[in-house]
Structure formats: structure tokens, C-alpha cells
Amino acid sequence: MYIVDSTVTVPEEKADELIEIYQKRSRSVDKWEGFRSFQLLQNDKRPGELTVHMEWESKEDYMKWATSEEFQKIHELEKNYPDQELANIPPKVKKYKVVAE
């Protein structure tokens, strides 16, 4: 299994706005081969810290998604967030290979 976490820290008063965007996500990634799950996580002690947590069958499956036109199209939409402050916050991405379960 392969895990990708993408974390952003937004002003706490904007956290609900970003959560709502993800609650309405397109779900197109859900159809990709090797996709296992998506969760949006909110830090319990720092509510403005939000992490997109995705699980994939393999790194290869994730890379097919990450290099696809669909991925590019979805991430282009982020540039059109109604709140441009949110659009300009770069995520911190971490990738993990699961080595034991």
C-alpha cells in the first residue's frame, strides 16, 4: 500500500470553508485503478491544519493518477477557489510506502 498526505495550514476562521470545498469534491479519483480511500483530516489541536489522506494499492497506481490529465484538471480548479488566500497556500506533501500492517 502507498499513502499520500497533503497538509495545508489555513487561518482557523477559514478552515470550515476549505472543509466544505472538500466535502463537495468531484470524487473522480475514486474511480482510478488502485485507489483505496480518501479522508480529509483536521488536526484536533490546530483546527486550521487540514490533511488530505489518500491510500493507494501501489506507488505506481498513485503515479498514474498524479501524472494524468484528470489530476491536472482538478488541481487547476484550486486556482479558482472563491477565496484566493486559500488558493495560494502551498501544501506540504508526504508520501509513504506501507512496510508492515
Q: Is residue 25 over pLDDT 90?
A: no
- Which pLDDT value is given to residue 79? 64
The sign of the torsion formed by the CA atoms of 65, 67, 72, 73 equals negative
Q: What is the mean pLDDT of residues 1-24?
A: 93
Q: What is the mean pLDDT of residues 71-97?
A: 80
What's the chain's average pLDDT?
Answer: 91
| Angstrom distances, CA of residue 77 to CA of 2, 47, 59, 96, 101 | 25, 24, 24, 26, 35
- Which pLDDT value is given to residue 46? 97
Q: What percent of the chain has pLDDT over 70?
A: 91
What's the predicted TM-score (pTM) here?
0.87
- Which pLDDT value is given to residue 86? 74
Q: Please state which CATH number belongs to domain 2-97.
A: 3.30.70.100
Concatenated DSSP letters for 69-92? HHHHHHHHHGGG-SSHHHHT---E
Q: 74 vs 6, which has greater pLDDT?
A: 6
Q: What is the mean pLDDT of residues 27-50?
A: 96
The structural domains of the chain, with segments of one domain joined by +, span 2-97
